[in-house]
Amino acid sequence: MIRFKQFTLNLVIFVNILLAFLLIFEEKVQLPIPFQVTGRMHPMILHFPIVLLFAGIVMYWLKSRKSFQNQAVYEITQYVFCLYALGSALTAIVGFFLYKEGSYTGDEIFFHKWIGVAVSLMAMLILMLTEKSSPLIVYGILGINAVCVSLTGHLGSEITHGKGFLTEPIRKQREARISQIENPDSAIVFRDVIQPILNEKCLNCHNAKRAKGDFVIDTYENVIMGGENPPSIVAGKAKESLVFKYLSLPLDDSLHMPPNGKLQLEADEIKLIGWWINAGANAMEKYAMLPKVDSIHSLMVLRFQPKKGLDLEDISFADQSTIKELNNPYRTVQQIAATKPYIAVFLGTKKDLSSKDLTELHPIRDQVTSIDLGNSNVHDNDLEDLTKFKHLQKLHLQNIPIGDDGIRHLKKLRYLESLNLSGTNISSKTIDEISSWKNLRKLYVYNTAVSMESIQTLKTAQPDLEVYNTQFDLTDSLYTVQLTTPISKIDSSIFVHHATVTIKQSRGNVKYYFTLDGTTPTSQSKPYTEPFQVNQSAELKVIALKEGWMDSKVATFLLMKRGVTLQGITMETKADTKLSAKKDSVLIDGKQGSLNREDKAYLAFFNQDLHAVFQLPRPITISQFTISFLEDPEQGVLAPEFVEVWGGASMSTLIKLGKKDIVPASGKRPTSKGLIVVQFPGKGVKFIRLKVKNPGRLPSGYTFQKSTKASIFIDEVAIN
């Protein structure tokens, strides 16, 4: 026991000294990829020392009791404290490795880091003092350590799960008072309507800890005060209020809020916010005191009506990890809203769909309220499996080979409100079957053998049922609706071997074309027929085309192959310290930055070029260098003028390997990401010098502040 304790103590002291060294020289530490992998083990191992601490407290207390004073209890206690001290030290050091990746920022990570270090040092102190000090001192240190461990765990949960994670159930219960108001006249408009919408859709980015644009929305006063670009709210004038303006912008606009990819406001929610602003944007005004607007009144009544139908069911939220596991390139599973447990499933266009695809969804079948199987290979017998999803409200079965025999199974779905049977083999027999379904509100039957007489009979029997049996005339030259922007699922945008690309196909005869060289795709480009793999860095662009429709906007996706492992990076020009990530390793951390220039995933260079030297562990033949950058012209963040790559066996023998000139785009353009691939003949090198040229001049057509400087923002590099 003595030898084991001494060995453990020496190891713990060594790890803590190493940790202190790393903290002192934190800014200069660059982690190789293996250490980044080790850092990601932090969430896995941190639970062990927590359990060992509280087990040690119990064992130490038992050791002091006369009935437990024997050698075995003493030795077990010592072993527990040894393992606790070692586990705490290892948890702290791998936590530092994870912190160095740069993925976590803010006050929480700062305090989490330093309290975690304190826990490790106190654990070492406990190991030293348990035999030599009085029980009172040991109990005191154990108590302080327990408090610090609890506080560190709490901060860790807020870092990974969001602010207020611990108290979220209490907060939701408090906010649930809204659902108890059954008469809209009793509602205070801001408190009971506007604030809950903002809390659900906007508070994550506009809170006291993370105030994007210096805009906080946690109180009425802060909403009115606005952020760095007032006025956020102009009472009586929604169209002049930035909040309403940004909410109303197209989704692909760089100023649209919430940003693309975040939970979006529904059209009715935006309408309610605009109405509240036009009505005076008051804090405590009741709805009963405001003039009634027909379009708004219907929304208010709907919002505060007594619960009915599915909302009366006690349905729990599905585990988020389960939802994540069920998603794959051929199946999309998504929770519809943050405040309700309902889930939508997309399995459309899957030609080899089997019963397994549905049975795998059984763990969340109580939460699934929408399933899309359109354009797949579902048959009549398969529809019986859908009855296990007893809370289905929307079912899309368009353009699949089913007929009257399969529809009868769906009668068991008592909450079904919307059913799309367009393009199927049903006949008027199905209309006779549906005529007894009292909850159905929308039925789509165009391009079927259903007769007009049957539809008219159904409408007479169910006047509240909306039946759609005609399609737009796409040959009409005046009908120019634009196709939606293509959506692609990519298993990994930064990959080691290859990335698998799956394009989500719309219903109908929509065709998709793509390019991998950054050029705009046309009908002459490669057509998309099935998921494909990309094994080199590429700028993927996708467009949707359909006769009689406007072409979709081009969707762009950046794919980067990680390439060779680096031994080190030397920055010859220093990045901006305020807006940039603090660590040069952010260039090779495998994480692309967002469209936000304040994202700490970027290294920013104002009025200067980027010069950096990359050292390989050994001479390696390379033929390609790729960089990923941000372009935000309104803020002076520009694409590089050119990228130049030099290489050689030593720093004194570098030669130019390749250069890529960038032609600046003309006119105003939104914030976007870009990829520059420099290709050259294969060359064996150990050292690489990268030169990224700052354009130096701000573009014309924009209004800039005097302090604005031309800048380049780089987030990732890859060498292949």
Write out pLDDT tens, residues 235-268. 888 888 888 888 888 766 677 788 765 667 777 8
- SS3 labels along 602-650: CEEEECCCEEEEEEEEEEEEEEEEEEEEEEEHHHCECCCCEEEEEEECC
Average the pLDDT over 45-62 and give the result.
81
pLDDT at res. 225: 84
Q: Which residue has the tokens 């807020």?
A: 158
Q: Which residue has the tokens 């031994």?
A: 567
Tell me which DSSP letter residue 229 carries: S
Give Cα 246 to chain centroid, integer Å.
20
**In angstroms, what CA-CA distances link 262 with 153, 255, 266, 559, 652?**
27, 13, 12, 21, 49
Structure tokens at 234: 């102009």
Write out pLDDT tens, residues 491-510. 788 888 888 999 887 656 78
Nearest 10 degrees: CA dihedral of 328, 332, 336, 338? 10
Write out pLDDT tens, residues 398-454. 888 898 888 888 988 988 988 989 888 998 888 888 888 888 888 888 888 888 888
Check pLDDT > 50 for residue 476.
Answer: no
3-state secondary structure of 550: strand
Give Cα 475 to chain centroid, integer Å.
40
Q: Which residue has the tokens 């030669």?
A: 655
Average the pLDDT over 559-578 and give the result.
87
CATH number for region 487-560: 2.60.40
In terms of pLDDT, which residue wins out, 354 or 132? 354
Average pLDDT, the chain: 82
**CB burial of residue 335 (10 Å; 0-12, 13-18, 19+):** middle
What ranges do the domains of the chain cover?
2-161, 184-306, 312-468, 487-560, 568-719
DSSP E strand stretches across 521-602: 526-527, 532-534, 538-545, 555-561, 568-571
Q: Where are the alpha helices (DSSP H) in 413-567?
A: 428-434, 452-461
To the nearest 5 percent, what fractions of the chain are helix, strand and coil?
40, 20, 40
Write out pLDDT tens, residues 530-548. 999 998 888 999 998 877 5
Going by C-alpha positions, the residue among 643, 639, 694, 641 that lies closest to residue 671 is 639
Could you count the other beta carbons within 10 Å of the beta carbon of residue 267? 9
Structure tokens at 447: 């391009």
**CB burial of residue 323 (10 Å; 0-12, 13-18, 19+):** middle
Going by C-alpha positions, the residue among 386, 362, 369, 366 that lies closest to residue 315 is 366
Q: 278 with 250: CB under 8 angstroms?
A: no
Nearest 10 degrees: CA dihedral of 572, 575, 576, 580? -160
Q: Which residue has the tokens 């005004």?
A: 285
Write out pLDDT tens, residues 18-28. 888 888 887 77
For residue 674, the cross-strand partners are 629
pLDDT at res. 28: 74
Q: 576 with 606: CB under 8 angstroms?
A: yes
Residue-level length of the chain: 720
Q: 435 with 410: CB under 8 angstroms?
A: no
Residue 654 makes CB contacts below 8 A (sequence gap 6+) with: 646, 647, 648, 687, 689
Tell which CATH architecture fits domain 568-719: Sandwich (2.60)
Check pLDDT > 80 for residue 461.
Answer: yes
Going by C-alpha positions, the residue among 341, 345, 300 that lies closest to residue 197 is 300
Write out pLDDT tens, residues 326-352. 887 678 887 776 567 888 888 866 677
Q: Which residue has the tokens 């991998």?
A: 516
User: Rounded to the nearest 10 degrees, what angle do helices 135-161 and 47-64 cross at?
Assistant: 160
pLDDT at res. 107: 62
Tell me which DSSP letter residue 281 carries: -
pLDDT at res. 626: 92
Average the pLDDT over 306-334 and give the result.
79
Out of 565-574, 591-600, 604-613, which region has the weakest mean confidence (pLDDT)?
591-600
Task: Determine which helix (DSSP H) or strand (DSSP E) holds 335, and give its type and residue range.
Answer: strand 332-337
Proportion of the chain above pLDDT 90, given as a percent? 18
pLDDT at res. 1: 65
How far apart CA 157 and CA 553 sit, in angstroms, is 40
Check pLDDT > 90 for residue 647.
Answer: yes
Write out pLDDT tens, residues 179-204. 456 678 888 899 888 988 887 778 76
Write out pLDDT tens, residues 91-116. 888 888 877 765 565 566 778 888 88
**CB burial of residue 324 (10 Å; 0-12, 13-18, 19+):** exposed
CATH class entry, domain 312-468:
alpha beta
Average the pLDDT over 628-636 and give the result.
90
How far apart CA 374 and CA 32 sit, in angstroms, is 47
Average the pLDDT over 392-403 and give the result.
88
Q: b or e along 95-113 (b: 16 or more beta carbons within 10 Å of the residue's beta carbon)?
A: bbbbbbbbbbbeebbeebb
How far apart CA 334 and CA 654 sit, in angstroms, is 51
Q: 447 with 422: CB under 8 angstroms?
A: yes
Write out pLDDT tens, residues 683-696. 999 999 999 999 98
